[in-house]
Structure 1
Amino acid sequence: MADRLPGVESSAISILKRAVELDSSKRYDEAVTCYQEGLQLLLEVLKGETDVTKKERFRQKIKEYMDRAEELKKFVKDEKTAGKQHEQIQIESNDTGYSYERLFSQFLNQFVTEVEVEDPYIRSNHQIYNFLRFCELVVKSKAPVKEIRLLTGSDESPDLQAQQHEKLGQLTESLRNHKIMLTVKYSDTLHDREIRFDTGWVVKIGRGLDIYKAAGSKFSIGFCDFDLRPCHKTTVDIFNRKYVKDTSDSAEGSV
């Protein structure tokens, strides 16, 4: 058995290294398989090891890889179940309780590293503030987001366009302080409004991020807390593009 250990250990290390690479590439199904195979070999090495220090090191590594494999296994199972459902939320005029936290927090988990926002109207002051609020939600979430990509339209007025670019530039600098890169691109033909997470989840809102009515004044309830701000009438569609072929065109249910 002792003669086999170096070869088994080498194989275990190779397979677990591949598991980590697959994990980093978000190929979670394959990563789980490699973690399981590598762990079986590492357990075999542990049983045959007599050195106390090495045994403890193997135990720590086994626990670390096993915890990660279980975390991925649960995530993959939950995503497959949830991803086959199409949720539709009908927001009526003057409805409250639809802050960005309610709409997006569930998707900002520990597996999200990139977010894409397509909204042709991140132009005027209040629209840029809406986008800023969304970015703040991303920053304070547990998601290890490294990049936010915004595709929006430019204002026709050169002066207003310059102001738009300047404000988004300031936001870019601010996000950089939080180790998040903001990439802004402009399109004159953009019409769709949706937010995509690199876990596959897509949130399509008829009005984009601009779903709130103006507050009565700066001292009205709802001016600061968007859960208390009345909304415009709009529809929110939520689905996972990884499983969209398995979903019917009609919503499974509405909230």
Structure 2
Amino acid sequence: MTQNHLPGMESSAISVLKRAVELDQSGRFLESLVCYQEGIQLLIDVLKAVNDDSKRGHYRGKIKGYMDRAEQIKAHVNQKKEDGKYHEQVRIADDATGYSYEAVFKPYISGALTEVWVEDPYIRHTHQLYNFLRFCEMLLKASCKVKTIHLLTSSDDADGGPQTSALAELKRNLSTHGVALDLQYSSTIHDREIRFDNGWIIKIGRGLDYFKRPKGRFSIGYCDFDLRQCHETTVDVFHTKHTKTL
């Protein structure tokens, strides 16, 4: 990195670490940990490019402070997980943006993740089926090796053709990526939750269907769901050592 790039890298580090502190203060610890780690790496890159000794000392102090806080958060999260008492809640405000599936689920995805359970009664209509497709795409792109995705949903009795054919096509397509899709239907399912076999359980009040319709086909947020406005909903995150037996 040249000196010309230094201001931009420093600005990026400050922005990411500011977000980390905000998430930390609101109790969203895992999200804050991701931001702390990204911000610390950016500061380390800045440190490598700085020649002034006083500035280098300043950056070393900042890096140490953020690393200490990140270690404290990691220890806190691990202890809560060990005790089976981890609970984190995120409130998504009406019209809020920045809550794509990548943003919501990234903190809970790890290399150990191989199996996912999705229980959502509303994977029936076209936009809901596309939501599930996007969720599957997110898993394929993530830093994990998912081999099986289980979907438990309700059957669209009124017009079951589109649902059946769409999920059958998705099942075939996922298999070409080495992922099995296990489909099951229930007429009594009501609750919505997503379980990962690394222990994380994510309960979203609206399930995967928390995005608002775009205002038009060429409006911002039509393609990029980080820019798509959301319905108001709540995301509750828990951790258990016994995900597969739930």
- Category of TM-score, reference length = shorter chain: 0.5 to 0.7
User: What is the aligned partner in structure 2 of residue 175 from structure 1?
Assistant: 174
Q: Specify whether residues 243 and 81 from structure 1 end up closer, same or farther in structure 2 by C-alpha distance, changes over 3 A only.
A: farther
Q: Deviations over 1:48-91 (max 9, x none)?
A: xxxxxxxxxxxxxxxxxxxxxxxxxxxx9786335243110011
User: What is the aligned partner in structure 2 of residue 6 from structure 1?
Assistant: none
Contact 2:94 2:232 in 1 (8 A): yes
Q: Deviations over 1:4-48 (max 9, x none)?
A: xxxxxxxxxxxxxxxxxxxxxxxxxxxxxxxxxxxxxxxxxxxxx
The answer to whether the aligner puts 1:195 opposite 2:197 as a matched pair is no
Q: Specify whether residues 146 and 136 from structure 1 end up closer, same or farther in structure 2 by C-alpha distance, changes over 3 A only.
A: same
CA–CA distance in structure 2, aligned partners of residues 148 and 82 of structure 1: 27
User: What is the aligned partner in structure 2 of residue 152 from structure 1?
Assistant: 153
CA–CA distance in structure 2, aligned partners of residues 164 and 82 of structure 1: 40
SS of equivalent residue, structure 2 residue 226: helix
Contact 2:77 2:86 in 1 (8 A): no
How do residues 64-213 of structure 1 correspond to structure 2 at under 5 angstroms? 80-81=78-79, 83=81, 84-157=85-158, 160-213=159-212
CA–CA distance in structure 2, aligned partners of residues 184 and 218 of structure 1: 31
SS of equivalent residue, structure 2 residue 164: helix
Q: Deviations over 1:189-210 (max 9, x none)?
A: 0001000000110000000000
CA–CA distance in structure 1, aligned partners of residues 176 and 234 of structure 2: 34
Q: TM-score, normalised by structure 2?
A: 0.65
Q: CA deviation at 1:92?
A: 1.2
Q: Which consecutive unaligned segments of at least 5 residues does structure 2 have?
A: 1-73
Q: Deviations over 1:98-120 (max 9, x none)?
A: 11001111222110110000000
* Equivalences, count: 167
Q: Deviations over 1:222-251 (max 9, x none)?
A: 00111111100111000102399xxxxxxx
Q: CA deviation at 1:138?
A: 0.5
CA–CA distance in structure 2, aligned partners of residues 224 and 199 of structure 1: 30
CA–CA distance in structure 1, aligned partners of residues 212 and 135 of structure 2: 17
**CA-based RMSD:** 1.9
Q: Which consecutive unaligned segments of at least 5 residues does structure 1 have?
A: 1-75, 245-255
Q: TM-score, normalised by structure 1?
A: 0.62
Q: CA deviation at 1:175?
A: 0.4
User: What is the aligned partner in structure 2 of residue 223 from structure 1?
Assistant: 222
Q: CA deviation at 1:140?
A: 0.8
Contact 2:132 2:208 in 1 (8 A): yes
CA–CA distance in structure 2, aligned partners of residues 81 and 219 of structure 1: 47
Q: Which one-letter code corresponds to 1:122 in the other structure?
A: I
CA–CA distance in structure 2, aligned partners of residues 112 and 82 of structure 1: 20
Contact 2:192 2:205 in 1 (8 A): yes
CA–CA distance in structure 2, aligned partners of residues 79 and 179 of structure 1: 32
